Each structure stands twice: as C-alpha cells, then as structure tokens.
Amino acid sequence: MSVFNLEDARELMLRKHLRGRGIGDRRVLEAMASVPRERFIGDPFRELAYADRALEIACGQTISQPYIVALMSEALELKGEEKVLEVGTGSGYQTAVLAELAGRVVSIERHPQLSVQAGKLLADLGYANVSLVCADGTEGWAEGAPYDRIIVTAAAVHCPSPLVAQLRDGGILVIPIGGPAGQMLEAIHKTGDRTKVISLSPCRFVPLIGAQA
C-alpha cells in the first residue's frame, strides 16, 4: 500500500470510525492520527491497518479495532501528566497511543515474544516514557503503584482485585468484563473505598489470563 493510500485510510478512520461514532476528545484524536498503526500490523494485514476491525497478531492475540482503542483512551480522561498501567501490551499500539496522552506508561505482557517485539518498535518510534514488564498482568505491578489510570486490554469475568488496589484514589480503570457469551467495556471510577461503574460499549476481547483472572 502506498504512503498516499495509507494517509487516505488514516483520514477515513478519523472521520468515519472515530469522529463519526462519537469520539470527541481532541487529544485522543490527535494521538490516533499520530501513531502509525501500520507499523504494528503484520505484513498479511498491513493494508487493513486503518480498517475498523481487530486483527490477529502473534501468540494468538489481537490488535483492537481503532474505535475501541480510541474509546478506551477517551474513557481514561488523560490530561498529560498521569502514570498509567496497561495490562496486555500486545502489539504495542495501544501503548503508543497512551504514551502520546500520558506522562508515564507501564505496560505488562505475559508473552515474552510480544513484549520484546513491542519494546523494539516503541523504542524505534521514540517513545521514551514507556516501561515494559513481562509478568502476570492480573497481579498488576506493585513496584509502580499507585497508578492514576489502569487499562486492561483483555476480558475478565470480574475485575482483578490487585488492579483496583493499585489504582489511586480518584483514578479510573477501564476494562472489558464478561465471557464468551458477551462482554461490556466498563470504566471504573474509584473514590475512597467506593467504585462507580460506567458501561461504555459491548465489545469482544481475548480472555484475560492469570492468577487473578
């Protein structure tokens, strides 16, 4: 696919699949425009980089459709100084979008192959505010806690308690909840010992795997 066509596809994504479906946060739209999604897609799917669909990557995982990436990013309400924990690095695409929006990103991935590949690509793209960890993401990453925001890019039947515990008071956690029969993307707002859950959209993610899943 030529650079010209990639630019056209990116603009169509922004206009139709993001703005056209209600994504209005200027910073999120700018981040989605800036991150070269085609760099995170395997060669067989490169021409589909800006199509609004999930695509397969290595280790049986997927890169989420652009709308869901934007919706999750918008729900985090990032202003630019926050420390974010991402559970599920995958290709590193959502990580890159978060790096554009937040002050610091810690991203956990259980597959060493994906973590290494994402780390090389993120470094090549110049994202110096990202730290990658290969570990069980359902346990969170206590070394960096508390986090202003947490995002989980795989579906759990319930939100792992370590993630809620590592979320700062006043923080937001975005996670898909549910099983094979159906999932709902939820934003969990934490205030003291209480949480408020906002349902965002039906969704479909690969299952979250780990001790606390």
Structure tokens at 190: 């934490």
CATH of the domain at 84: 3.40.50.150
Q: What is the pLDDT of residue 126?
A: 98
Q: Which domain holds residue 16?
A: 3-203
Q: End-to-end CA distance of the chain: give it in Å, rounded.
A: 40
Mean pLDDT of the chain, nearest integer: 95
Residue 64 annotated to the active site: yes
pLDDT at 172 over 90: yes
Which backbone phi and psi does 60 adopt, to 5 degrees?
70, 20
Select which of 2, 34, 64, 161 is catalytic.
Answer: 64
212 belongs to a structural domain:
no
Burial of 82 (0-12, 13-18, 19+ CB in 10 A): buried
Whole-model pTM: value is 0.95
Structure tokens at 36: 């070269």
Cα separation, 73 vs 70, whole angstroms = 5
Total structural domains in the chain? 1
pLDDT at 4 over 80: no
209 belongs to a structural domain:
no
Number of residues written out for the chain:
213
211 belongs to a structural domain:
no
Element (H, E) at 197: strand 194-203
